[in-house]
Every structure is written in C-alpha cells, then in structure tokens.
Amino acid sequence: MSKAASNKAITGNFFEDFRLSQEVRHATPRTVTAGDVALYTGLYGGRFALQSSDAFAKSVGLPGAPVDDLLVFHIVFGKTVPDVSLNAVANLGYAEARFIAPVYPGDTLAATSTVIGLKENSNKQTGVVYVRTTGTNQRGETVLDYVRWVMVRKRDAAAAIAAEEVPKLAARVAPEDFAVPPSLDLAAQDDRLAGSSYRFEDYAVGEKIDHVDGMTVEEAEHMLATRLYQNTARVHFNQFVEGKGRFGRRLVYGGHIISLARGLSFNGLANAPRILAINGGRHANPVFAGNTIHAWSEVLETAALSARHGAIRLRTLATKDRACADFPGPDAAGKYPDDVVLDLDYWVLIPRWV
C-alpha cells in the first residue's frame, strides 16, 4: 500500500515520544570487517597484542584476533542514535555494561533497546531517557549489553509526560557476572610480545598510573570516527547547526575520548587487553578538535577469577591540554576542573602469575 507523506526524512524521537518499557529494534545491522579494525587502530593507536595479532590470539586459545571491545561498543551505540539520541543535548553516562562474547571480523552486529527510565527536567525543555541496549551477532548471541542515559530535547515544552521513573542501577558489575571465553588463557602469553612484565599480582588497590603520553584530537579524525560508527547525532558533525549553538562548534563524540584514553592506557596496562565491564562513566566537560588528551588510572579493586586470570577495576580519568603527573580529578564536593573530560570506572582482564 502506498504511504504518501510530505517528508519521509526521519527527525528522531523527542523526549515526549518515549514510554517506559518501550522496545526499539534499531536499523542497519553492521558487518565488522578487517578494514574497520585497521581504521580503528589508525584513529586510536591501540597496541594491545590480543587485538593486534592473530598469531598472538591463537597462542592464548582464541581462533584469531578479536575486534577491540570498544569498537564493538561504538558500533552498537551508533545503531541506537537515530532512535534514542538524535535530538540529544548530551550523553550523560553509562552503567552495567558487560562485554559477553568476543566479536571477530565477519561478524554482523545488531542492536535493540528498552526504555527503562524517564525523568523530565524542571525547565520543561528537556528530559533524561534511560535505555538498556543489547548488541547481538548474526547467530543471535548477545555480545554486549549496557545502560546509558541521555538528555533529550522536547518537541513541545507543554507536552505532558505519561509516566516517569529513575531506574536504580548497580554501582558496579560483580565479578561473578563477568564473561571470560573458556578457551582463553592469557597466563600462557609471551609477556615480551604483550609489552609488559606486570601481571595481576603486581597491581595494588590505590595505585595510580600516569599514562604519560598525549594525543591531539584532529577535526578530520573525530568526524571520521563518528561516521565509522554510523553515529548520526547532529551535535558531532553538523557545523551549520552547531555554529549557532552554545559552543559555536561541533562537540567530539564522548566515545572518541573513551577510546583515546584506552589507547593511552596501554602504557602501564599492556597486559590488560580485554574489557570485562563498564561500571559507570561520565563525560565531565566537552572536548573540541585541537585539544590534546592525556589520561591516568587508579586501581580501585582487584578480583582473582581463576588460577589463570584476575580482574582489575580501574578508574581512568582523561584531561584536555593538561598532563596527568599530578593526577587531576574532582574536588571534595565532586566538582571537576574544566580540563577533566572523562571519568570512567571499568574492569579489565589480566593474566596471573602461575
């Protein structure tokens, strides 16, 4: 049947369009290719051996080098943008993210989301939408699930909101909920090839690591990254619109900063190649092209998972145009300096001494 309309273009959902328990099956499944992996490496300079070398991955029990966990996250995230955050003011945070199964080149990723929370802001111009998103492969297996919340504009400030609820989220993903591939044995790795002689037992709670290096965000690179993930949020790529907005220029996608910080963290955490979970994250301040990103990490917690593997809970903070030798962070009241841009709480897998 013909469906005539004056304009067939998608304008995205506004806050009043969302309903609690609403389920969305997102468009455009994406087959991950070796080209995507190479481009991701070119953008962030990742050096973790597990994701860099088929031979190394096979030596520790995998069929080949898996796709970087954050590339999987960004691709799944990008699927959700047209339905969840096309009209976003800002992406506010993440929680309860679990990386469940490795993804390899040739796998096809799809995403679905469920609205688990809604809260209108007092200005009646915006509201916060909480969604739980699941990423699956071509076999229907879950590879990733996570919660995020985003501030979304209202189409009509006077529009009534049917029901509101703020979900209660776990402070951390528990170690018993981690998913480690049964065949993986990082304890069997060649540490020289991995790039570090430090394993699980060498890290202590409270230890702080300055990752030393910095990477400057280029306009072309953050635009390329946003398109790589098929992220259609206007705030990241439409200078015609953003030039008239609050900052007068495009914002760098927050996930771009997460990946830069993760790439920088290799220097000090080279033996932690796999992200197990993201407990929470906050984009504390905006980033623009031309800013140089640095990062430091603190060990928050450790957990022995088996005779072969341990998990380290990290808090990684990223800064713009500021080195991290003094470990900058929020003050006692929780206020961040203007040059702190990311505060990420996550678990990584690391081999034990055996």
Whole-model pTM? Answer: 0.94
Please state, rounded to an integer, the average pLDDT across all residues of the chain: 95
Pick from 275, 277, 251, 245: nearest CA to 263: 275
Per-residue pLDDT of 103-158, as tens digits, reads: 999 999 999 999 999 999 999 999 999 999 999 999 999 999 999 999 999 999 99
pLDDT band at 3 (very low <50, low <70, confident <90, very high): low
User: Contact at 8 Å (CB) between 203 and 299?
Assistant: yes
Q: Which domains does the chain have, with CATH numbers?
A: 15-351 (3.10.129.10)
Per-residue pLDDT of 158-176, as tens digits, reads: 998 879 999 999 999 999 9
Alpha helices for 23-129 (secondary structure H): 34-44, 49-52, 54-59, 69-84
Residue 246 confidence (pLDDT) above 70: yes
d(CA 91, CA 226): 14
Residue 1 confidence (pLDDT) above 60: no
pLDDT band at 313 (very low <50, low <70, confident <90, very high): very high
What is the token pair recorded at 284? 């504390």
User: What mean pLDDT is predicted for residues 15-42?
Assistant: 97
User: What mean pLDDT is predicted for residues 293-318?
Assistant: 98
3-state secondary structure of 210: strand
User: Contact at 8 Å (CB) between 180 and 69?
Assistant: no
What local confidence, expressed as pLDDT, does residue 241 receive?
Answer: 86
